[in-house]
Structure 1
Amino acid sequence: MSDPWALAFEDRQYSLADLDALAGGMAAELHRRGVAAGSRVAVMSSNRPEFVVALRAIWRLGASAVLLSPAWKQAEVGHALSLTEPTHAVGDHPVLAGSMPMLSLDEEIAPVAHGAVQPAPTPDADAVFVFSSGTTGMPKAVRHTHASLAVAVRHWRAALGLTSADRMQVMTPPSHILGLLNIVMALDTGAWIRLHRRFDIDAMLRHIESDRITIEMAVAPIALALSAHPGLEEHDLSSLRYIMWCATPVTQTVAEAVSARTGATWVTAYGASELPVISCNDLQDARLDTVGRAVAGVDIRIVSLESGAPLGPGDEGEIQVRSDSAMAGYLPDHWTADAFCDGWYRTGDVGSLDADGWLRITDRAKEMIKVRGFQVAPAEVEAVLHGHPAVEDCAVFGVPAADGEAIVAAVAASGPLDTDDLVALVAERLAGYKRLSQVFVVDEIPRLPSGKVLRRVLRERAMSARAESGGFGGRPSDQ
C-alpha cells in the first residue's frame, strides 16, 4: 500500500516517500558539486514542491539553507550573500542565477530512494538563515540552529493544535519564517498541505472547499481580500476549524465581517523571525483584542523603556521573551548582543501583560514599518532616496493603512524635484512591498540635537495632510 499523500501542488501530489526520493537525488547532485556538512546553500525560490525538496536535500547533507526572498532585487540579494557567504545556490530566480552559479529547480534530477546521507548534524549546527530588517538599513541574517528550529516547530504545532488529520494550504513565501514553519511543521506532523505559487483569493476559497482545509493562515492582505470578496458566501468553508491571523495585529472589523458572512472563527498569534512563536490565543475562545498568552516553553516579561526594570501586570513597556526557540544570533554578529538582555530577546515591541497572562501590543519601540506582514527598514529606503542628486535630506516612516502600514517619505530638496521620480527610483531598486505610497517635499527634516529624526512629528503631519487632502510643504505622490 502506497504512502498517503503529504503535499499537493497544482495537479500533482507527493507522498513523503516521493519527497524523500527527490531529496535524495538532489542531495547527490549537490554533494557532487561540493556541498557537505557545514556548507551554506542560498535558496531563492517561489512556493513549489522543489523548494521543499531542496530544503530536505540541504539538511540531509548537514548543510544550512540561506533563504532569500523571491521579491528581492539585485542590491538586496547581493547584501544577503555578502553577509552569509554561501558557497552554493539552488533556486528558480534569475537574480540569484546572475549572482552565483545556481542549480536550477527546473532542472530534472532523477530521484534516489536510498541516497547517501551525511552524519546527522548536531543540535547546535546551523539549519537555516532567514532575514529580518533592522533600523540600520539592509536586512540582518537571523541564524537558527536545528535545535532552535525544532523547538519553534513544536511550539507552533502545540499552539495550532495540529494533528495528522489536519489539512492546510500555504500561500505565503517559503523564505518568510511563517511559510517555512508551516511547511516544516505540516510535513513533520503528517498533516496534508497544498502549496500555491502565489496568493490568489479565488484559488484560496476554491481549495478550502475542494480540499476540505481545516486550518487557514491569513496575513492582513488575505483577511482584507476575504472580507471584500463579493462571492464569499458562495463557498463552503465549513471544514475550517479556524483562520489564524498572523504577522500584524487583528483588525477586528475585518475579522468580524468575515465571521458574520461565513461563520468562520479567528485566532491570532504573535512571533518574530528571531523567536518564531511567542503567544497564541485560545483556539476555542480567542480574544482578538490581544495576541493571546505565552505558549508553553516561552516566558514573557514587560520591562520599563527607561530603566529596563521588570514591570507589573497592566504596566506598559518593552515586550521581552525567553525560549529555547530563540535564534542563535545575527549576521553580522555585532548586532546579536544588543538583541538580548540577560538571555531575554528584546522584541522592540511595546505592550502590556495582564494578571491572567493576556498580552497586548500597543506600539513598537523600533522604527520598523510593517507592510503586509513584511518588515521594512526606513534606513534602507532612505539610502536609495539619498542616491538622487536633488535629495538633500529625507526621512521614511509608516502611516496606518488597510493592510498594515504604508510607506511615506518626507524629502528636503536641494533643487527642482519630481516626486514621481523618487517613487520610480525606489520601485526600481527595492522589492515591491517596499514601494513608496506617498512623497512629501518639506523645507527641512526635523531632528533632535543628536541627529535622530523626529519621525513621530513627520507621521502626524502626513496623516493630518491626508485627512485634509492637502500636503505639507509640497505635493504628495499617491502612486
Structure 2
Amino acid sequence: MALAFEERQHSVAELDALASAMAVELHRRGVAPGSRVALMSSNRPEFVVAVQAIWRLGAAAVLLSPAWKTAEVRHGISLTEPTHAVGDHPVLGELMPMLHLDESPAPAPRAAESAEAVKPAADAVFVFSSGTTGMPKAVRHTHASLSAAVRQWRGALGLTSADRIQVMTPPSHILGLLNIATALDTGAWIRLHRRFDIDTMLRHIESDRITVEMAVAPIALALSAHPRLEDHDLSSLRYIMWCATPVTGSVAEAVSRRTGVRWVTAYGASELPVISCNDLDRPRLDTVGRPVPGVSVRIASLDTGEVLGPGAEGEIQVHSEAAMAGYLPESSTEGAFVQGWYRTGDVGTLDTDGWLRITDRAKEMIKVRGFQVAPAEIEAVLHGHPAVEDCAVFGVPSADGEAVIAAVKAGGAVDADELAALVADRLASYKRLSRVVVVDEIPRLPSGKVLRRVLRERALSACAKSGGNCGRPSDQ
C-alpha cells in the first residue's frame, strides 16, 4: 500500500491505473502538452491522481486553495489562464467547466498518449505565494525545479521506503505538494487527512506507526496545548519537522518535555521549496539548520545589497536548481533575483559553520526611532507567558516611526501591563510594546504564517474610531 485515506487504501498499481484513466479523460477533453489545468481540491487520493494525470499529459497543474472564496479564485484563474479544470470545489465549478473528482473514470491501463517523455524545462505546477501583503502571485515551477526540490527534501528528511508520514496541510500549498511528491518518489507510506484535527493526528501516529510528522505553527501550538498529550504513544516518531515558520522555542520544548519526541527544523519557500534543514541526529532549535546539498546561501546588506561576512545580519539570498522559473504576472519576477540568487525577503545571519538563523521578514520589520525591531523576537518572549496561547506582533505608524503592537490570544485572564512588563524586562527599550490587544484568534495562512496586514488594518481601524490613540497601552 502506498496511500491511505480514511478507510481506503491504495497501492502504487491502483494509483497508476487511476491516473492513467484520468489522463485519458483529460486528453479527450483537449488537455495537451503545455496546457494549464486548474485543480481545486480537498486533501484526498483523487488530488494525487489528478496531479499525476496532468503531468503525464505534459500539462501543468494550477493549484488553487480550497479555502479561497470566489474573488480569490477569479484572481488565480486570471493570472494563470488555465484552459481546463479538475476538482471537487463548487467555486471552481461555477467559474469553469470542471471534471469533478467524484466522477473520476474507472481505473485503466497506462494510455499510449501519456507515454511521451515530459521535458524538464516544461511547466509542472503553479502554486501561489503566501499573500501576506496582498493578493498572491503565481509561482511557476518546472519539472526540473520540482524534481530538484523532491531530491533535496528526501535527502534532508533522511526519508526511505520504510518511513510512514501523514499529510494534514493543504495539498495546494507547496509544503503539502512537496511532502506527497517526495513520499511517492521515495516509496514511503502516506496517510492523507481531509483537514487538520489534533486528536485525529495523535490517534493515527499511534495506529499507523507514523515515523515522521510534519508540523506548521498551528499544529505545534495545538500539540503543546493538548491536555492529554502524554496519553498518546508517540514512540514510532523519529522526529517532528517544524516547517514554514521559525521555531517558537518554548512551544517545541514543552512538547519534547511531555513526549520525549525531538524536533527538527527546516526552511523553504513557495519560490524555493528547500533551503536548509537541521541535523537529524543533533538538531539545534535556535537555527533553521544548514543549506542542504546543492543549495548555496549568502547574506546581503539590506541597505546596499553588498554580500556580508559571517555573523552579519541582512537579507537571505539563495542559489539552487530548485528555484522557481518566475512569477505570474511576469512583471513581478523583476527584482526577485539578483545575479541568479533568489531574494527571499527574509532577514537573518549565517555563521562560519553554516548555521542559518532567521530574524524576521524584511517587510515585516518594525522601525522604531530608527531601530529595526523583529516581531518574532518579541513573540518568543510573549509565548513564554503561561496565559498566552498564541500571539503576533506588528507595527502601526506613530510619531517616531512605528509603534509596536501585540495581538494576544489568551488561555485565561491576562493582564496587558504584565505582558508589556515582561517584554520590557527581557528586551531593549525600543522593543517595548505600545499596546496589547486581546483577540479570539490570530489570523494565519494554512502554512502557519501570520497575516500581520490583517491585524494592522484592524488596529488602524480601531485607532481611527478612538481618535487615533494607537500608542496608549490597553487590553481592549
Short-chain TM bin: 0.7 to 0.9
Does the CA-based 8 Å contact 2:132-2:450 persist in structure 1? no
Q: What SS does the corresponding residue of 1:356 show, helix, strand or coil? A: coil
Task: Determine if the alignment matches structure 1 residue 104 to structure 2 residue 129.
Answer: no
> Which residue in 2 is equivalent to 1:195?
192
1:322 to 319, 323, 332: 319
Does the CA-based 8 Å contact 2:202-2:232 persist in structure 1? yes
Q: What SS does the corresponding residue of 1:183 show, helix, strand or coil? A: helix
> Which residue in 1 is equivalent to 2:60?
64
Shift of 1:118: 4.5
> Which residue in 2 is equivalent to 1:294?
291
* 1:36-435 map, 5 Å: 36-116=32-112, 117-133=114-130, 137-367=134-364, 399=406
1:469 alignment partner AA: D
Shift of 1:128: 0.2
2:462 alignment partner AA: V
Does the CA-based 8 Å contact 2:242-2:266 persist in structure 1? yes
Task: Determine if the alignment matches structure 1 residue 441 to structure 2 residue 462.
Answer: yes
Shift of 1:402: 6.8
Q: Distance in 1 between matches of 2:228 and 2:279?
A: 30
Task: Determine if the alignment matches structure 1 residue 469 to structure 2 residue 466.
Answer: no
Number of residue pairs the alignment of both structures matches:
403
> Which residue in 1 is equivalent to 2:11?
15
> Which residue in 1 is equivalent to 2:31?
35
Q: Distance in 2 between matches of 1:346 and 1:311?
A: 14
Does the CA-based 8 Å contact 2:22-2:104 persist in structure 1? no
Relative to structure 1, the CA distance from residue 232 to residue 442 in structure 2 (aligned partners, 3 Å threshold; closer, same or farther) is: closer
Q: Distance in 1 between matches of 2:312 and 2:270?
A: 26
1:250 alignment partner AA: V
Q: What SS does the corresponding residue of 2:102 show, helix, strand or coil? A: coil
Q: What SS does the corresponding residue of 1:349 show, helix, strand or coil? A: strand
Shift of 1:78: 0.3
Q: What SS does the corresponding residue of 1:127 show, helix, strand or coil? A: strand
Q: What SS does the corresponding residue of 1:301 show, helix, strand or coil? A: strand
1:229 alignment partner AA: H
Q: What SS does the corresponding residue of 2:95 show, helix, strand or coil? A: coil
Shift of 1:119: 1.3
CA deviation profile, 1:312-356 (whole Å, cap 9, x unmatched) = 111000000000000000001111121000000000011111111
Relative to structure 1, the CA distance from residue 321 to residue 400 in structure 2 (aligned partners, 3 Å threshold; closer, same or farther) is: farther
Q: What SS does the corresponding residue of 2:39 show, helix, strand or coil? A: strand
Q: Distance in 2 between matches of 1:103 and 1:79?
A: 20
Shift of 1:366: 2.4
1:441 alignment partner AA: A
Q: Distance in 2 between matches of 1:135 and 1:340?
A: 20
Relative to structure 1, the CA distance from residue 267 to residue 25 in structure 2 (aligned partners, 3 Å threshold; closer, same or farther) is: same
1:83 alignment partner AA: L
Does the CA-based 8 Å contact 1:135-1:367 persist in structure 2? no
Does the CA-based 8 Å contact 1:160-1:283 persist in structure 2? yes
1:203 alignment partner AA: T
Q: Distance in 2 between matches of 1:198 and 1:141?
A: 24
2:51 alignment partner AA: L
Shift of 1:136: 6.7
Relative to structure 1, the CA distance from residue 98 to residue 202 in structure 2 (aligned partners, 3 Å threshold; closer, same or farther) is: same
Relative to structure 1, the CA distance from residue 144 to residue 246 in structure 2 (aligned partners, 3 Å threshold; closer, same or farther) is: same
CA deviation profile, 1:353-402 (whole Å, cap 9, x unmatched) = 111111111121124999xxxxxxx9xxxxxxxxxxxxxxxx9x995657
Q: Distance in 2 between matches of 1:249 and 1:135?
A: 16
RMSD of aligned alpha carbons: 2.8
Does the CA-based 8 Å contact 2:163-2:188 persist in structure 1? yes
CA deviation profile, 1:287-310 (whole Å, cap 9, x unmatched) = 101111100000000011111110
Relative to structure 1, the CA distance from residue 311 to residue 31 in structure 2 (aligned partners, 3 Å threshold; closer, same or farther) is: same
Shift of 1:108: 4.0
Relative to structure 1, the CA distance from residue 227 to residue 128 in structure 2 (aligned partners, 3 Å threshold; closer, same or farther) is: same
2:28 alignment partner AA: R
Q: Distance in 1 between matches of 2:110 and 2:405?
A: 51
Q: Distance in 1 between matches of 2:181 and 2:362?
A: 31
TM-score, normalising length: structure 1: 0.79
CA deviation profile, 1:266-297 (whole Å, cap 9, x unmatched) = 00000000000000110111110111110000
Shift of 1:114: 2.5
CA deviation profile, 1:167-189 (whole Å, cap 9, x unmatched) = 00000000000000000000110
1:355 alignment partner AA: T
Shift of 1:441: 3.3
Q: Distance in 1 between matches of 2:111 and 2:336?
A: 40
CA deviation profile, 1:37-92 (whole Å, cap 9, x unmatched) = 11000000000000000000000111000000000001110011001000000000
